[in-house]
Structure 1
Amino acid sequence: MYMKQLFNYIILVPAFAVMASCSQKLDEIKPDTQITFDQLNDNNLPLALNGAKLALTSNNAFYLYYSHQDIMSDDVESITLTSWESNNVSPTENTLTFMFRQPYTAIATANMIIKYGIKNSISEKISATVGEAYLIRAYSYMLLSEHFGGVVLVYGDEDPKVRRDRNTLAEVQDQIENDLKEAASLLPDYSDARTGSKQAAQLLLARLYLNQGKNDEAILLAKDVMDPSKSPLQLGSDFPAIFKSMANSKESIYKINETTTPTSDQYGLSYIFGPGKTVGPDYPGSGNNWIDSNLVKSYESNDIRKAYFLRAKGASIVDTVYFLMKFSPETTPSYPVCRLSEAYLIIAEAKARKGAVEVQEYNALRTARHASTVQALDFSSPAEFLDEIEKERRREFVGERLRWQDMRRFGKLDNWLSSLGQPATHALLPIPSHEFLVNPDLEQNEDYSK
């Protein structure tokens, strides 16, 4: 089936066929099987959830779109993804298809799980699975709204003959909020980053609230995430373990792992950010994407994060640049969704936005990273402390697709786009052109053609 037709079939009629496929084993997902709503039962519901995760990764290729918003930002430079670096992406760009299609495919599967759960009164046996389906649906809508703004909300019971208008960004964010609240009410406390938890839902909701300027709500949720009486989460010094797929780091709250590809460990985020084989035969990567040198130079010498940059020449780069090495090459690539350090920096930032310079959470993270700490008197104003928090967020989360929303929240996005000769409306990406073949009345984002 032609992919465009398949995609629209998926998002409009998810109750009849879900292409995020499931096999008879939780750890073995194959694309040659399908499951319908009528085939769901308590025992195979986790298989459908795995199918939603597989769909989100574009069948083990999440790297194809996970990192592109970072390339648009001031954190990353690229010699090959020039339209992304210049923030002038064409509606016909193929990567947009993954950005738009894959979250919707995951949503279709999540909708089916949620529908099954509601039909069966969300029994104790399936509550965690249904809760994670709400979490996946919320995260998928976060991806869509961060990339495209308002998008069509789908629930699995839509009339396929009706071409619906896009919902507003506010409506999409309301749906995300409701889904995360529902997820938090159903999910257990954290035990492993590979499965959903109450803390994962709370932290994503705190992130949403921070971006919306709801600072009090963000603080309360972030504090709950950090509560040591509810989970074993804690900051530590084993920084690289956070990003390894099978390591159960107490800092990693939720991550999406791809299924094992035993023939190669050269994909995932290590491929996007790695220097490639021009440096050595065992180095993954294209050697075409590197990190802003000023960011790398902002790490103190004892900061343990500084060790995860490699200064070298890449595939087609004349100058010596810095490559990001914190994502290990693995046959099971892993993608961070949220982790504990974000809760600490959310609290510090939200308090500063309320007019208080309270350095406790900032210092706790810096201590864990073996970096110097500060005193409140070191800052002349909350605004000055906010500047430092922004810098720390860049150091902590580089390559984890948080920078674009940070630039928006810290008021840096308009000037950044202007410096590249682009309008402020290019903070959003264009809806892919092929969507208008199906629905000509769909509205394109401003300053883009259909």
Structure 2
Amino acid sequence: MKPFHKYLPLVLLLGAASCSIEKTPYDGLPESEILKTELGLRAATDGNYTIIKESDYTRNLYIMNEYQGDNITLSGTTTDPLFLTYTYRHTADQGNTLQIYKKAYAAVIGCNKVINAIKPGTSAALDQALGENLFLRAMIHFDLVRLFGRPYTQSPEANAGIIIKTDLTADDNAKRATVKEVYDFIVAELKKAAPLMTVQKNSSYAGAEGAAALLARVYLYMGQNDLAIEQANKVINSGRYTLATPAQVPDFFAVNNEDNKEIIFAIKHTLKDDRGWSAIGSMYYTSPGGVGWGEVYASQAYQDLVNKFDNDKRRSFLVKKLTSTGEQEKRNGINKVYITKFSNQGGIATLSSPVVLRLSEMYLTRAEALAKKGQNEDALADVNLIRKRAGLSGADLYSATDLKGLASVLEVVLQERRLELAFEGHRAFDLFRNNLPLVRNYPGYHNTQNGQQTVPANDKQVVHLIPESEIVLNPNLKQNPL
């Protein structure tokens, strides 16, 4: 049996004459034919979007990213491996890590085949396809290095990252690159991708602004503040995106991503992609019709934060489950407060197109970088813009003389990131990349004795373990510290 990077067939979408990531992939044509034509290469590219849309990748990604944070609480134990992520009890045979690891590299190999088949400058359409695959390859490497490699701020030249995969060979002896090498690779990929993507497409596809947005995030993680600002500015000044209004915020995630002017890139899901009880949103919400597990709730700490300001429209993403008499319903003594950011697209309780990049993040990226450069007034201006988006004004905004009890402008920015980007998979990374501890002092099953847990940024469990089955197959693939 070969490991993750065995030779995989390309996928071609049904109805190739009108390629779309909404179609179903199949292996209907020989790979040699697919890679020779513009239509086939476009179809193969769309097939790569389909791979990352699969549950093994997207569901695991958003669970593994978010369940490490302090915005959610799990109301009981479960045999689902998400419990190991949530409790920081990672194992080498953890199901979700193996699933995402294998699926991610399957998508990377799909991208590699397209990338290797296109000569830059052949046509605008092929350059676009090349750029999209470079973007996807960079994004996937970034997703993996955050899960399996330590934060960039912790000795990136020494710490092991992931395997950088750019070829098609069945080489079973590849070694993990360092965290720094992986980040340098991601930066180079995105720089190559951006100028190739000259065709403006909707947010279901990568584009030049998407490459800039992801690059801004990567630079922020690297502590390259000037470069993070530069890339965020490219997106903000492009004129392609508009922040939601306060009136639009409550329905922000229920609107199709193509119709949402703030979204830069989303992993598009249509009705036929609805995962039902296996959807991301199923763990967060039970619909009035009884669909969804609804066993993961907003933490008391997050509720207290978002409820500080009565006019904050972001409170609308939290829904209290009440008894027939109007009392707060509980599960195992924990208040049922549902989260709806991954629900109700098109009125379907478990359907959503997870948002990867949006304009509001760019303002907060710029704000954090500005705060770290000591440009506090500019940083607060960006934070206040996001607060106004949420319906806040007047005394609810920050000023240099009123940080509302916080010790620094950087704390203000990080708190606003927590409020705005909650449940989207940012919080634990925001803490650890800033060498801050994760503190969970609220009810939940992260600690069944007293509900308290503190995870230092340098704890060995802030990263997942490489799947043991892959290490067995590759003697050069070294494990993270146990």
State the TM-score, normalizing by the size of structure 2. 0.82
Cα distance, 1:63 vs structure 2: 1.5
* Equivalent position to 2:336, from 294, 309, 321: 321
Cα gap change, 1:161 to 1:84, in 2 (>3 Å): closer
Q: Could you tell me which residue of structure 1 aligns to residue 478 of structure 2?
A: 443
Distance, in Å, in 1 between the alignment partners of 2:237 and 2:199 is 11
Per-residue Cα deviation, 1:257-297 (whole angstroms, up to 9, x for no partner): 135427875553321321x26xx325x43122112112122
Q: CA deviation at 1:403?
A: 1.3
Paired position in structure 2 for 1:391: 415
Q: Distance in 1 between matches of 2:402 and 2:14?
A: 57
SS at match of 1:361: helix
User: Alpha carbons of 1:379 and 1:314: their partners in 2 closer, same or farther (altered >3 Å)?
Assistant: closer
Q: Which residue of 2 aligns with 1:302?
A: 311
Aligned match of 2:117: 116
Q: Does structure 1 retain, via aligned residues, the 8 Å contact 2:228–2:369? A: yes
**For each residue in 1:226-267, what CA deviation from the matched residue of structure 2 results, as whole angstroms up to 9, or x when unmatched?**
015x42434433122345445521111100113542787555
User: Which residue does 1:429 correspond to in 2?
Assistant: 464
Other-structure match for 2:100 = 99
Letter of the structure 1 residue corresponding to residue 391 of structure 2: H
Contact 1:286 1:315 in 2 (8 A): no
Taking the aligned partners of 1:263 and 1:375, their CA distance within structure 2 comes to 44
**CA distance 1:431–1:264, change in 2 (3 Å):** closer
Deviations 1:388-445 (A, max 9, x none): 1111111111111111210112322477799457871111100011102211332001
SS of 2:62's equivalent?
A: coil
Paired position in structure 2 for 1:181: 191
C-alpha change, 1:37 and 1:110, in structure 2 (3 Å) is: farther
Separation of aligned partners in 1, 2:438 and 2:319: 31
Matched, 1:45 2:60: no
- Secondary structure of 2:142's aligned partner: helix
Does the CA-based 8 Å contact 1:151-1:167 persist in structure 2? yes
- SS for the counterpart of 2:338 is strand
Distance in 2 (alpha carbons) for counterparts of 1:39 and 1:167: 32
* Partner in structure 1 of residue 216 of structure 2: 206
Specify the code of the residue in structure 2 equivalent to 1:198.
Answer: A
Structure-to-structure mapping, 1:281-300, within 5 angstroms: 281-282=289-290, 284-299=291-306, 300=309
Partner of 1:36: 31
The CA deviation at 1:157 is 3.8
- Which of 1 and 2 has higher RCO (CA within 8 Å, sep 6+)? 2
For residues 86-129 of structure 1, give each alpha carbon's deviation from its aligned partner in whole angstroms, at most 9, with x where no partner exists: 111111111111221111111111111111223x6442122222
1:137 Cα offset (Å): 0.6
> How far is 1:66 from its partner?
2.2
Residue in structure 1 matched with residue 443 of structure 2 by the alignment: none
Rounded to whole Å, the distance in 2 between the matches of 1:189 and 1:236 is: 28
Unaligned runs of 5+ in 2: 150-160, 322-327, 441-445, 447-451
Q: Which residue of 1 aligns with 2:355?
A: 336
5 Å-filtered alignment, 1:240-259, equals: 240-242=251-253, 244-259=255-270
Identity of aligned residues (%): 23
Amino acid aligned to 2:435:
G
Distance in 2 (CA, whole Å) between partners of 1:263 and 1:377 is: 48
Letter paired with 1:294: A
- The 3-state SS of whatever aligns with 1:97 is helix
Do 1:184 and 1:202's aligned partners in 2 also have CA atoms closer than 8 Å?
yes
CA deviation profile, 1:296-345 (whole Å, cap 9, x unmatched)? 22122111110110122789543323221122234653111110001111
Q: Structure 1 residues 199, 301: closer, same or farther in 2, change over 3 A?
A: same
Confirm or deny: 8 A CA contact 1:122 1:130 kept in the other structure. Answer: no
The superposition leaves residues 119-152 of structure 1 with CA deviations (integer Å, 9 ceiling, x where unpaired) of: x644212222211111111110011101111111
Distance 2:335 2:406 in 1: 37
2:7 counterpart residue number: 13
Structure 1 residue 216 and structure 2 residue 216: aligned?
no
Q: Secondary structure at the match of 2:320?
A: strand
**Paired amino acid for 2:469:** H
Letter in 2 for 1:197: G
Unaligned runs of 5+ in 1: none
Distance 1:316 1:91, change over 3 A: farther
Alignment deviations for residues 205-239 of structure 1 (CA, whole Å, 9 cap, x no partner):
010101111000101111111015x4243443312
Q: Secondary structure at the match of 2:118?
A: helix
Aligned to 1:375: 399
The secondary structure found in structure 2 opposite 1:130 is helix
Of 279, 285, 295, 1:268 maps to 279
Number of positions where the alignment pairs a residue of Structure 1 with one of Structure 2: 431
Say if 1:288 and 1:317, in contact at 8 Å, map to a contact too: no
Deviation of 1:378 (Å)? 1.8
Alpha-carbon RMSD across the aligned residues, in angstroms, is 2.8
SS in 2 for 1:126: helix
**Contact 2:406 2:412 survives alignment (8 Å):** no
Amino acid in the other structure paired with 1:281: G
Q: 3-state DSSP class of the match of 1:206?
A: helix
Indicate whether 1:193 and 2:203 are aligned.
yes
Q: In the TM superposition, what are the counterparts of 1:217-236 in structure 2 within 5 Å? A: 217-228=227-238, 230-236=239-245
Structure 2 Cα separation of the partners of residues 173 and 315 of structure 1: 43
Change (3 A) 1:32 1:125: closer
Q: Structure 2 vs 1, CA of residues 263 and 85 (structure 1 numbering), >3 Å: closer, same or farther?
A: closer
Aligned residue for 2:14? 23
1:60–1:259 CA contact under 8 A, matched in 2 = no
CA contact (8 A) 1:56 1:102 kept: yes
Deviates more, 1:395-404 or 1:64-73: 64-73
